[in-house]
Amino acid sequence: MNKVKTVNIDLGERGYEVRIGPGLLSRAGEFLPWVGGAQVCVVTDQAVAPLYLDRVRRALCGRQVVAKILPPGESTKTLEVLESVFDWLLATPCDRDVTLVALGGGVVGDLAGFAAACYQRGVAFIQAPTTLLAQVDSSVGGKTGVNHRRGKNMIGAFHQPLRVLADTDTLATLDRRQFVSGLAEVIKYGVIADAEFFTWLERNIGAVMALDAEALAFTVERSCINKAKIVEQDEREGGARALLNLGHTFAHAIETGTRYGEWLHGEAVATGISMAAHLAAQLGRISAADHARIARLLSAAGLPVGPFTGLPAADMLQLMKVDKKVRDGRVRLILPAGIGAADLVTDYPAPALARTVSHFTADGVAVPA
């Protein structure tokens, strides 16, 4: 199956296509029509560059291509590394017609996108995601940014790419733990917006995990369709887009509390979704059966669902207060309302949240190895 699928992100003049299929990174026609100037700066990392940088260079034939290769991992997503990217752009030097290409996972996409949003007050960029998590989530929708030691993704900007090239061939070379991590964001879409997709995942998670080409392509396409619908309603997270953060308030606290590196983002999100489902079940927002279905699917995908060690409940609750959804000191949470629906909730009882956090931070399963 070699057919390329296209998902349109309809944002008027900022709209673009998400292209999904094998071999996209090798095709000049997927890049060159969207490169306005002579210069292309590829931002990638040390894990991805040996695998895909040369083929992207060849696809960008006729352009002046330079590359910035960063260390891999969440610890790279900092203001200090961002400044090093600006230093490189200025030293090259790159003008306002430069196009940045973010070649890598979510860390590279977020950081390179933020650099594109800021450099000379905004330049063009293309997302070329190489991880499942980036293909189904972080590369789509224009969120860019870096972490701060006090909170994840607290410094950033909305800056839409010219297009997204999700080359599904890259998933075959993805580290297994990274691949599994991406499934958390896939499952999220089923929980918040797409009960039919959730049921499909329950039946086909084995094929997805076995890297079946047809199942993978459908998974990426359906996830992007779900994200597109929400982003088109609410580009800058004034309302409906907050639903995409199911589990993320819990997850960001885990990542911040463990200093960005022990947990992969998707692993923390999976545990965060489990915590959101646990709280929703406490409050009678979802049935025990739906709670069990969510936990069962996350476990079937090989994702951690808690409890976990290493972060006291009091610390977790405090870290949750450093979140973009906090208003007037109140932590607002995305909670499921059954399979395929979710809400932004502010009126939950504080003791119920404390019970959930205490349950999941009890001595139990260790931080993922």
String of b and e for 131-166 (b: at least 16 CB within 10 Å)? Answer: bbbbbbbbbbbbbbbbbeeebbbbebeebbbbbbbb
Could you give the CA distance from residue 144 to residue 131 in angstroms, rounded to a whole number? 16
The residue annotated as part of the active site, out of 68, 188, 252, 293, is 252
278 is a catalytic site residue: no
CA dist 168 → 45, 51, 165, 250, 360 (Å): 19, 14, 9, 30, 35
291 is a catalytic site residue: no
The residue annotated as part of the active site, out of 19, 68, 143, 188, is 143
SS3 string, the chain, reads: CCCCEEEEECCHHHCEEEEEECCHHHCHHHHHHHCCCCEEEEEEECCCHHHHHHHHHHHCCCCEEEEEEECCCHHHCCHHHHHHHHHHHHHCCCCCCCEEEEEECHHHHHHHHHHHHHHHHCCEEEEEECCHHHHHHHCCCCEEEEEECCEEEEEEEECCCCCEEEEHHHHHHCCHHHHHHHHHHHHHHHHHHCHHHHHHHHHHHHHHHCCCHHHHHHHHHHHHHHHHHHHHHCCCCCCHHHHHHCCHHHHHHHHHHCCCCCCCHHHHHHHHHHHHHHHHHHCCCCCHHHHHHHHHHHHHCCCCCCCECCCCHHHHHHHHCCCCCCECCECCEEEECCCCCEEEECCCCHHHHHHHHHHHCCCCECCCC
The residue annotated as part of the active site, out of 248, 278, 293, 332, is 248
The residue annotated as part of the active site, out of 19, 227, 285, 291, is 227
The residue annotated as part of the active site, out of 77, 222, 241, 285, is 241
String of b and e for 236-250 (b: at least 16 CB within 10 Å)? Answer: ebeeebbbbbbbbbb
121 is a catalytic site residue: yes
265 is a catalytic site residue: yes
The residue annotated as part of the active site, out of 237, 255, 262, 267, is 237
Phi-psi region of 251 (alpha: psi -120 to 50; beta: other; left: phi over 0): alpha
325 is a catalytic site residue: no
The residue annotated as part of the active site, out of 77, 153, 245, 255, is 245
The residue annotated as part of the active site, out of 152, 159, 222, 265, is 265
321 is a catalytic site residue: no
The residue annotated as part of the active site, out of 121, 150, 176, 203, is 121
30 is a catalytic site residue: no
185 is a catalytic site residue: yes
Which residues are known to be catalytic?
Answer: 121, 143, 185, 227, 237, 241, 245, 248, 252, 265
